[in-house]
Chains A and B, each alone.
Chain A
Amino acid sequence: MGKVVVVTSGKGGVGKTTSTAALGSALAQAGKRVALVDFDVGLRNLDLVMGAERRVVFDLVNVIQGMAKLSQALIRDKRLPNLYLLPASQTRDKDALTEDGVSRVIGALKEKFDYVFCDSPAGIERGAQLAMRFADDAVVVTNPEVSSVRDSDRIIGLLDARTLKAEHGERVNKHVLVTRFDPARAARGEMLSIDDVLEILSTPLLGIVPESQGVLRASNLGSPVTISEPSNPAARAYSEAARRLEGEDLPVALPVDRRGLFDRLLGRRAA
């Protein structure tokens, strides 16, 4: 039986979809069978980030409503043969998702895959709650700033209350993934420090992904950063986070401000 991992945050624009794509492909690169499910019905993005937007025929809502078989809707990645995508519908809204339907789809995917990643929509409403409903693990994506951290705190509260595991007295394994971390700004006190974030959320850290142009480039190319630029610091951070998700005990290194160091050597000031 595979593991169901929800990637969630509460706040929008913090990097849920990017992180789903990067973590999923990193695990697929390591040989795991991985399915990525886009729960953002009505605002689908994961297909674009995965570069599969021109191959979408059927979607999650079609499968839930019985209009298509799961095998028809799953899109196989062109680069990694053991990576699949189940896209969201762009023409429906989140009311098209039913708990029974989601339960059936997740159940079927768990049989076939080692990891089922559920890319949650932003917010705390129906779509987000259904995305987390059947999760075994949760990756809470957080930017080091107060509004994002507060929303993550709210989501962690929901993970402890509204998931099937929580209702059966079990616990969803929760991990915090800090994204868009800018070492220079953190050093100047313009961002929350990692310690502040972890103190507020009191949840174990899965990784710190530095702010990087490579991530943006990768999204626009339709290729996860772990595939397109594996040596990029952000890609390395995602690969290490994926290994921690596998249970490996890997220390988390704080990203360093390399440009800042370079600038200091040249006697320049960072703008």
Chain B
Amino acid sequence: MNALAPVEKKSIRFRARSFVAFALVAKVPLDEWLDELDCWIANSPGFFSGRPVVLDLNLLDPAQADIAGIVAELAKRSIRVYAIEAAGIESLPSELPPLLAGAKSTTIEEQQAIERPREPPVPDTLIIDAAIRSGQSVFHPNGDVVVLGSVGSGSEIIAGGSIHVYGALRGRAFAGAAGNGAARIFCKRNEAELLAVDGWYRTAEDMDPSSRGRAVQAFLEDGVIRVLALN
């Protein structure tokens, strides 16, 4: 039997990302340039270690440049070349680093910004059809939470965005938990133990008694949680 095992179809994710690399610009005469480089390395040892380096050959005459020689010289100085940028060259032998096109120069402001590029979270809404029972915790860091039932005493909702409760809210609600001061809390009946927006909170004891048992919204105003009736 020569049957092939069924190929499991999996989609491959391709993601476009941008990285920051140092462009090392080679100059003629090459010997002087390498001497300069040695000087620099002597003054700042370890500067190139582990850093992505792109070799920029745009200032050299591509026809005459001994690219493999330059890469070898740099390798002697523990500089690994990730890619080569050169305007006049169409292709490079496979033993050399690949050609790079379309690079842009950039300035680096903060070291951390390079290591962890912050992708903005994709906001989405979590809709809960049932009641939230005592002891249950709903954590939804990116977006709003909508609850169609009641939120029981001793339960909590933590949302990156706003919180909407179409029943009685008897538990604790934390809106804008990821640092969103514009988030709000809405509920059909306010019996909440605690209402919080962006870390600012108000406990049941600090709430105006007139807001209890009513449809209310809570929002942040000058660092103070305001609880106002909706009608």
Chain A, 124-150, CB within 8 A of any chain B CB: 124, 146, 150
Chain B, 130-176, CB within 8 A of any chain A CB: 130-136, 149-150, 152-155, 168, 170
Contact B135 A200 (CB under 8 A): no
Contact B150 A202 (CB under 8 A): yes
- Contact among B133, B134, B150 for A160, CB-based, below 8 A: B133
Number of A-B contacts (CB under 8 A): 39
A158 to B154, CA, bound (A): 14
A214 to B131, CA, bound (A): 37
Contact B135 A154 (CB under 8 A): yes
Contact A153 B149 (CB under 8 A): no
Chain A, 145-201, CB within 8 A of any chain B CB: 146, 150-151, 153-154, 156-158, 160, 199-200
- Contact among B134, B136, B168 for A150, CB-based, below 8 A: B134
Contact B149 A154 (CB under 8 A): no
Contact B170 A200 (CB under 8 A): yes
Contact A200 B133 (CB under 8 A): no
Contact A154 B133 (CB under 8 A): yes
Chain B, 188-203, CB within 8 A of any chain A CB: none
With a cutoff of 8 Å between Cβ atoms, the chain B residues found around residue A202 in the complex are 131, 149-150
- Minimal beta-carbon separation of A140 from chain B (angstroms): 11
- Minimal beta-carbon separation of B120 from chain A (angstroms): 33
Considering the complex, give the chain B residue whose CB is closest to the CB of A159. Answer: B133
With a cutoff of 8 Å between Cβ atoms, the chain B residues found around residue A153 in the complex are 133-135, 152-154
A167 to B144, CA, bound (A): 27
Contact A200 B154 (CB under 8 A): no
With a cutoff of 8 Å between Cβ atoms, the chain B residues found around residue A156 in the complex are 133
- Contact among B130, B132, B136, B152 for A200, CB-based, below 8 A: B152
A150 to B136, CA, bound (A): 12
A202 to B130, CA, bound (A): 10
With a cutoff of 8 Å between Cβ atoms, the chain A residues found around residue B136 in the complex are 157
Which of B131, B133, B136, B149 is packed against the most chain A CB atoms within 10 Å? B133
- Contact among B134, B168, B170 for A154, CB-based, below 8 A: B134
With a cutoff of 8 Å between Cβ atoms, the chain A residues found around residue B149 in the complex are 202
- Contact among A124, A150, A158, A199 for B153, CB-based, below 8 A: A150
With a cutoff of 8 Å between Cβ atoms, the chain A residues found around residue B170 in the complex are 200
Considering the complex, give the chain B residue whose CB is closest to the CB of A124. Answer: B135
Chain A, 29-68, CB within 8 A of any chain B CB: none
What 4 A-B pairs come out closest when comparing CB atoms? A157-B133, A153-B134, A154-B134, A154-B135
B residues within 8 Å of A by Cβ?
130-136, 149-150, 152-155, 168, 170
20 A-B pairs with CB atoms under 8 Å apart are: A124-B135, A150-B134, A150-B152, A151-B134, A153-B133, A153-B135, A153-B153, A154-B133, A154-B134, A156-B133, A157-B133, A157-B136, A157-B152, A157-B155, A199-B150, A199-B168, A200-B153, A200-B170, A202-B131, A202-B150
List 10 other contacts, CB 8 Å, given A153-B135, A157-B134, A158-B135: A124-B135, A153-B152, A153-B153, A153-B154, A154-B134, A154-B154, A157-B155, A200-B152, A202-B149, A202-B150
